[in-house]
Structure 1
Amino acid sequence: MERLWVDQYPQEIPANLDYESVPVQNYLTKSAELYENKVAIHFMGKEITYKEVHQSALKFANYLKKIGIEKGDRVAIMLPNTPQSVIGYYGVLYAGGVVVQTNPLYMEREIEYQMKDSGAKVILTLDILFPRVTKVMDNTDLKHVIVTAIKDVLPFPKNLIYPFIQKKQYGIVVKVTPCDKYHLFTDIMSTSSDKPIELEVDFEEDLALLQYTGGTTGFPKGVMLTHKNLVANASMCDAWLYKCKKGEEVILGLLPFFHVYGMTTVLILSVMQGYKMVLLPKFDPETTLKTIDKQKPTLFPGAPTIYIGLLNHPNLRKYNLSSIDSCISGSAPLPVEVQQKFEEVTGGKLVEGYGLTESSPVTHSNFLWDKERVKGSIGVPWPDTESAILSLETGEPLPPNEIGEIAARGPQVMKGYWNRPEETAETVKNGWLLTGDLGYMDEKGYFYVVDRKKDMIIAGGFNIYPREIEEVLYEHSDIQEVVAAGVPDPYRGETVKAYVVLKEGSTLTEEKLDVFARKHLAAYKVPRVYEFRKELPKTAVGKILRRALVEEEKKKFEENEKLV
């Protein structure tokens, strides 16, 4: 298949890469040798060197071996972005285990499901989450809980003050008494050996990670990602960021590591390249702005809602964001207006990328430098990545500018879904990952997402793509966030509804917004209903949950039908 997009590559980006056939954790070993006294992690005033991270990860690995973890066993990590999440991640890999990233916002039912599905034997979690884990432990394969706390890694006197802040914020202080099945992270760090562990790893076949999909459509599935998948995608990312200097960049670690985008573009890439990670455990606009001002990050991977949150903060102009040089936005479509405003504020570059959990995750991105911006495009496939638009009727590749399903193939594509061979066969065919997204490719090889196959609205026989509506509405200066969805309609089958979050102080009315929409959209695409909300439902990484809104509307519609 002709790879049109390769002709668009700047000369600095090769079309094909050579990958080291080494497991993910080897990059920490190497960086600890090259940059042993360089700061690897900054967290709330605490700085930890590469040497210290390496030693701590080995201590964690040796302790896992001591309590019975063998090669291929699954170990869950349920933490926000903290030094312990980095240490635990590499520690599990050094021990030969498979990491199961678990969202710390999960409640008991969700934790139980993921532990049962993965068969995890050990979980590393926060003290305030310990009660949730213990409630479901007996219903799972979990044998051990390793408990840590934010205060464990804070500098003096923050480590003494934090428990009081925690009690005020969460209303609880959890004290864990160590026993055969409960273990303290601090005890492990003070008593365990940091000797290297000999381990044979099959680079292409052995799993490094079970990364669960968000579950926005049905039950979450464990995506099996090998060492090769993760090393390949992080290496591609490095090639894309060709102006970045090894050992010198500072990367803002705001995207959660339990989301595959944050894990690859911050956690793995940073360690691979010897970057400094500035970690934030959650997104708070004011804290993020202060952190950028003080720590001067040069790289800032994020999601549209994060950039929108910063741009709309009333104190934005108080802070200096000029250190930011490069940002690749993922997890959701990036509105053009947001892109332009963020670049004006920072002086850096913000471009949209694209990918899925099933592809480790990145498959496409726009160029950061040396190329003109292509409006509305997700960019071109990364090195060693093929992409095609497949006909929804025949499954055959379509010519440029025709809409079909986006498919991708490359070394970053998953091994499959954990214990789900049938669903794997439906999603990966002849090496091609079927994304479920509708899009097209232009004559130069740039790709465009029209919408999710399942999100396409069919109203009165017309195919309507929510993203197009959202792009238009985002151009209105009073709109902070918006999502369009198809909702049941007795006459048209479906009709377009827009859910809108207005900027603070806005007095925009439904009538005025409708006039604006009609100036820019064909009549059949204009939302028939507008609903103003204070906030929209989102995933942990900030992706707006369109499906949750659709389900709400379906329930309302069904209840009304019963009444009629």
Structure 2
Amino acid sequence: MPLPAPAIARGYTGEPCPASFNIARYCLARAAKETPDKIALIVVGDADAPLENAERWTYGALDEAVRRVAAGLLAEGFAPGERLMIRMPNTSDYALLFFGALAAGIVPLPSSSQLTAEEADFLLSDSAASAVALAPGMTMHTNDAKVIDAAMLERLKAHAPRVAYADTAANDPAFLVYTSGTSGRPKGVLHAHRSAWGRRPMYQGWYGIEASDTMLHAGAFNWTYTLGVGLTDPWANGATTVLYNGEKDVQVWPKLMEKTHATLFAAVPTLYRQILKYCDLAAHDISALRHGLTAGEALSPALLDQWCAATGKELYEALGMSECSTYVSTAPGMEIRAGSPGRPQPGRCVAALPVEGGSEPLPSGEVGLLAVHRSDPGLMLGYWRRPDEEAEVYRGEWFIGGDLASFDDAGYMHYHGRADDLMNAMGYRVSPQEVEAALATHPDVQEVAVTELRVRDDLSVIAAFVVPKEASEPDAASILGWADARLAAYKRPREVVFVSGLPRTANGKVMRRALARS
């Protein structure tokens, strides 16, 4: 017989966010005043070069540069509340623009440098951004949007600094990120300035972060995992963060752990798996590392055991989403239960709700829809111009993200998959409809369905099941090349399976999960 539902406070119980709140001020102003000469950011372009060659920013210099960019943006005619799209690689300029926009009350839209021009065009159009910051060599249709090129960026950085950060309210729009939508089109997730305050339960509920830490994050800035764990949280705690923007090579990460004396390392499980497979960890001194952090995809018990055996360091997992960042995790001093990402972080109100309806949390052991209380300060303001999709994710006082989960008697969460067809690719949520729409235009494709395909116990890939047109010669390489030209790398299928037909329900809906089991 299941245990009764655990008694949970109906609402967020952490310290409330101040009414006047600005993310950039929260992250930078205190450290700039108290420890202006402390290193806030190290940018490494070559993992083999001496660390002395790396770009370094103190808190004092970073605070001033952000306020310079904020003042420059306003002087160039940008108004608070306008969207500013950023399409650049991982550089200090990306960070300065993102935080500079926040400091001016402008709403930055971080995007991936991996996006194709067509994908980037959609984000610019859908967000109605007034400007886009483009790295050299990147092309897209900017329409009427102003382009922040290298010359303008230098003007912004040279402007006299703004005296103070924008006096934004906690609920004012802060930044916009895009994630996969159920319609197949990416949808904008609009976050308030309070979202940074809503990350405070992670500090000790996941990281165990201190001002003495050095955070090395392996992600890209378009992802809230990187913007939060790699920049926002270390800076809010007066710690040092390390950014790498050189050639992609798994070998760089142990080198950087050793060279920077990183105490915290954050990545997706796939990268930890690659490090174990391709790197000689014994050849590197990573003794400064206290532990690793992982999120974005499920951490298998086997990978956890392998990492701990190889390094003697723990891995602490977290579960989150673009709409609320992470809210369930393990942490230093907490028991790790194999197969569980942990418990709700202190102050969070998280529950499993009945799939078919109702707002009363289910008893321990019963599987339901994972839900976060609407009072959580980390929860989004809403979906950008998508009222229909927004209405689908709220049930009374709860936000429901589409994950199926249960809680055991000790409060540990256990994941039971998705209630919809959204896929997980390297930590990014990817809509099968978006991938299918790109592949369906291939001249030899009659029908296509896309789903996750498990190739190992601990590894899934995106696979395309294709019904070829009659008289065509099935050519997987051609279809994969077609995807390469139309989709960001993390959205592209890794496998093409040719089939004679797609399984459908009586109403004609494709049964994607049945394909994965066939």
TM value normalised by structure 1: 0.71
The equivalent residue for 1:363 is: 327
Which of the numbers 85, 89, 97 marks the counterpart of 2:98? 89
- Deviating more after overlay: 90-99 vs 383-392: 383-392
Q: Distance in 1 between matches of 2:232 and 2:193?
A: 11
The equivalent residue for 2:245 is: 281
The equivalent residue for 1:202 is: 169
Task: Report how far residue 250 of structure 1 moved.
Answer: 0.2
Q: Distance in 2 between matches of 1:321 and 1:213?
A: 35
The equivalent residue for 1:192 is: 159
Which of the numbers 453, 457, 463 marks the counterpart of 1:473? 457
Conserved? CA contact 2:453–2:460, under 8 Å: no
Conserved? CA contact 1:455–1:485, under 8 Å: no
Conserved? CA contact 1:305–1:542, under 8 Å: no
The equivalent residue for 2:434 is: none
1:393 aligns with 2:356: yes
Q: Distance in 2 between matches of 1:444 and 1:241?
A: 17
Task: Report how far residue 15 of structure 1 moved.
Answer: 6.2
Q: Distance in 2 between matches of 1:80 and 1:17?
A: 35
The equivalent residue for 1:33 is: 33
Task: Report how far residue 321 of structure 1 moved.
Answer: 2.2
Which of the numbers 81, 88, 91 marks the counterpart of 1:72? 81
The sequence identity of aligned pairs, in percent, is: 24
Letter in 2 for 1:381: P
The equivalent residue for 2:415 is: 449
Name the SS of the counterpart of 1:127 in structure 2. coil
Letter in 1 for 2:372: A
1:227 aligns with 2:232: no
The equivalent residue for 1:16 is: 14
The equivalent residue for 2:179 is: 213
Question: Deviation string for 1:452-501 (max 9, x for gaps)?
Answer: 122599xxxxxxxx99977x824xxxxxx445989799xxxxxxxxxxxx
Let me know the Cα RMSD of the aligned residues.
3.3
CA gap 1:549/1:429 in 2 versus in 1, 3 angstroms: farther
The equivalent residue for 2:145 is: 142
The equivalent residue for 1:121 is: 130
Which of the numbers 416, 422, 430 marks the counterpart of 2:388? 422
- Deviating more after overlay: 368-377 vs 86-95: 368-377
Alignment of 1:169-180 (within 5 A): none
Question: Deviation string for 1:108-151 (max 9, x for gaps)?
Answer: 1111100011111122232122xx13xx012xx4123233xxxx
Conserved? CA contact 2:70–2:162, under 8 Å: no
Conserved? CA contact 2:405–2:414, under 8 Å: yes
CA gap 1:485/1:437 in 2 versus in 1, 3 angstroms: farther
The equivalent residue for 1:522 is: none
Letter in 1 for 2:317: E
Name the SS of the counterpart of 1:312 in structure 2. helix
Name the SS of the counterpart of 2:265 in structure 1. coil
The equivalent residue for 1:161 is: none
The equivalent residue for 2:340 is: 377
Task: Report how far residue 230 of structure 1 moved.
Answer: 2.5
Task: Report how far residue 207 of structure 1 moved.
Answer: 0.8
Name the SS of the counterpart of 2:90 in structure 1. coil
Which 5+ residue runs of structure 2 have no aligned equivalent?
45-53, 424-450, 468-479, 505-518
Name the SS of the counterpart of 1:25 in structure 2. helix
CA gap 1:2/1:467 in 2 versus in 1, 3 angstroms: farther
Q: Distance in 2 between matches of 1:336 and 1:548?
A: 26
Task: Report how far residue 54 of structure 1 moved.
Answer: 1.2
Letter in 2 for 1:26: R
The equivalent residue for 1:402 is: 366
Letter in 1 for 2:35: Y
CA gap 1:379/1:485 in 2 versus in 1, 3 angstroms: farther
The equivalent residue for 1:343 is: 308
Q: Distance in 2 between matches of 1:30 and 1:403?
A: 44
Conserved? CA contact 1:364–1:378, under 8 Å: yes
Task: Report how far residue 4 of structure 1 moved.
Answer: 5.5
The equivalent residue for 2:436 is: none
The equivalent residue for 1:514 is: none
The equivalent residue for 2:277 is: 312
CA gap 1:281/1:184 in 2 versus in 1, 3 angstroms: same
Q: Provide the aligned length of Structure 1 versus Structure 2.
A: 441
Name the SS of the counterpart of 1:285 in structure 2. coil
Q: Distance in 2 between matches of 1:314 and 1:30?
A: 39
Task: Report how far residue 48 of structure 1 moved.
Answer: 1.3
CA gap 1:468/1:418 in 2 versus in 1, 3 angstroms: closer
CA gap 1:57/1:443 in 2 versus in 1, 3 angstroms: same
Name the SS of the counterpart of 1:210 in structure 2. strand
1:322 aligns with 2:287: yes
CA gap 1:216/1:250 in 2 versus in 1, 3 angstroms: farther
> Which protein has the bigger helix share?
1
Name the SS of the counterpart of 2:392 in structure 1. helix
The equivalent residue for 1:263 is: 227
Q: Distance in 1 between matches of 2:390 and 2:166?
A: 29
TM value normalised by structure 2: 0.77
CA gap 1:77/1:447 in 2 versus in 1, 3 angstroms: same
Letter in 2 for 1:435: G
Q: Distance in 1 between matches of 2:410 and 2:503?
A: 49
Q: Distance in 1 between matches of 2:350 and 2:502?
A: 43
CA gap 1:64/1:468 in 2 versus in 1, 3 angstroms: closer
Letter in 1 for 2:254: L
Letter in 1 for 2:344: P
Task: Report how far residue 55 of structure 1 moved.
Answer: 1.4
Letter in 1 for 2:166: L
Alignment of 1:51-66 (within 5 A): 51-66=60-75
Conserved? CA contact 2:71–2:156, under 8 Å: no
CA gap 1:488/1:84 in 2 versus in 1, 3 angstroms: closer
Letter in 2 for 1:404: G
Alignment of 1:520-531 (within 5 A): none
Structure with bigger RCO (C-alpha 8 Å, 6+ apart): 2
CA gap 1:251/1:420 in 2 versus in 1, 3 angstroms: same
Letter in 1 for 2:147: H
Q: Distance in 1 between matches of 2:87 and 2:397?
A: 32
Name the SS of the counterpart of 2:364 in structure 1. coil
Task: Report how far residue 17 of structure 1 moved.
Answer: 3.0
Task: Report how far residue 26 of structure 1 moved.
Answer: 1.1
Q: Distance in 2 between matches of 1:444 and 1:467?
A: 31
Question: Deviation string for 1:65-122 (max 9, x for gaps)?
Answer: 1111111011112223221122111110111100101111111111110001111112
